[in-house]
A and B are shown apart, each in its own frame.
Chain A
Amino acid sequence: DARVTQTPRHKVTEMGQEVTMRCQPILGHNTVFWYRQTMMQGLELLAYFRNRAPLDDSGMPKDRFSAEMPDATLATLKIQPSEPRDSAVYFCASGLARGRTDTQYFGPGTRLTVL
């Protein structure tokens, strides 16, 4: 049963610290998405990659967030420095884009708390 995996599942850190979240997409999928879920804003798209190339990161605060795909089996989302307003659940999703259609499969999320 292929699944998207995310590590860590929970992270508590102090303001100003660097946070790195990791995602392993489903093998063979060519698209990886990062979403953030908060009570106030709901689910928001932060960034996504296709064939490891960044396609859109307009939803991401550029000054402190960065997303990368070092290889096809790993996507990372980094926050430096972290702030209390970054506290949220961060989801990774992967899919196999065929033309315009795609079904996204979500990981379990990383719950981040910034004190």
Chain B
Amino acid sequence: AQSVTQPDIHITVSEGASLELRCNYSYGATPYLFWYVQSPGQGLQLLLKYFSGDTLVQGIKGFEAEFKRSQSSFNLRKPSVHWSDAAEYFCAVAAGGGADGLTFGKGTHLIIQP
């Protein structure tokens, strides 16, 4: 069965600084990978996804993620964070390409310092 690990429960970053959120997955075949963001009291919004092809994926709000098969990782990055980026970030993997349900990590809570 697939699994996702997000090693960092909380991360604090200064506004304007760069950001990297870590995600490691466990899955025997080619994974389908996703990053979602959840603002307080809100649902989950898709930031980006990787199905195949270019391993560097661009998403919304200036985010990108890089798939590294050798490290079983799919880390999320942003060159310069804004106060509005404060939220909970979830990495997810799908065995069936997303058509059969997602397995989520426990999430990383991002705090932005002024």
Number of A interface residues at 8 Å Cβ cutoff, please give it: 27
Contact A91–B99 (Cβ < 8 Å): no
Q: Is A97 an interface residue (CB 8 A)?
A: yes
A-B contact count (CB 8 A): 63
Q: Which of A6-59 contact B (CB under 8 A)?
A: 31, 33, 42-45, 48, 50, 55-56
Contact B99–A42 (Cβ < 8 Å): no
Contact A103–B100 (Cβ < 8 Å): no
Q: Which residues of A contact B97 (CB under 8 A)?
A: 99-102
Q: Which residues of B contact A106 (CB under 8 A)?
A: 36, 43-45
Q: Could you pull out 27 A-B pairs where Cβ atoms are within 8 angstroms?
A: A42-B104, A42-B106, A42-B107, A43-B90, A43-B104, A45-B102, A45-B103, A50-B99, A55-B100, A56-B100, A91-B43, A97-B98, A97-B99, A98-B99, A99-B99, A100-B96, A101-B51, A101-B98, A102-B94, A102-B96, A103-B34, A103-B46, A103-B49, A104-B46, A104-B102, A106-B44, A108-B42
A residues at B contact (CB < 8 Å): 4, 31, 33, 42-45, 48, 50, 55-56, 91, 93, 95, 97-109
